[in-house]
Amino acid sequence: MKKTILAAFAVSMTAAIGTAPAAAKSDNAALVINQSSCGGIVEIDGQPVVIQTDDGATRVITSSGNAMLVCNMDVVDGPELTKAVKLEGFGCNFEGGFTRDTRMVITPSGKATAVCRVRPE
Beta-strand ranges (E) seen in 1-121 are: 13-16, 30-44, 47-62, 67-77, 85-88, 92-94, 97-99, 102-106, 111-118
* Per-residue model confidence (pLDDT) at position 15: 53
The verdict on residue 4 lying in a domain is no
Instruction: Tell me the pLDDT tens digit for each residue of 57-79.
Output: 999 999 888 999 999 999 999 99
Q: Examine residue 12 and state whether it is found in any structural domain, yes or no.
A: no
CB-based contact 13:89 (threshold 8 Å): no
Asked if the structure places residue 21 within a domain, the reply is no
Segments forming the whole domain that contains residue 114: 30-118
pLDDT at residue 14, as a whole number: 52
Q: Is residue 84 assigned to a domain?
A: yes
pLDDT at 12: 45
Q: Which residues of the chain have pLDDT under 50?
A: 1-12, 16-21
Instruction: Say if 23 falls within a structural domain.
Output: no
**d(Cα 34, Cα 24) in Å, to the nearest integer?**
17
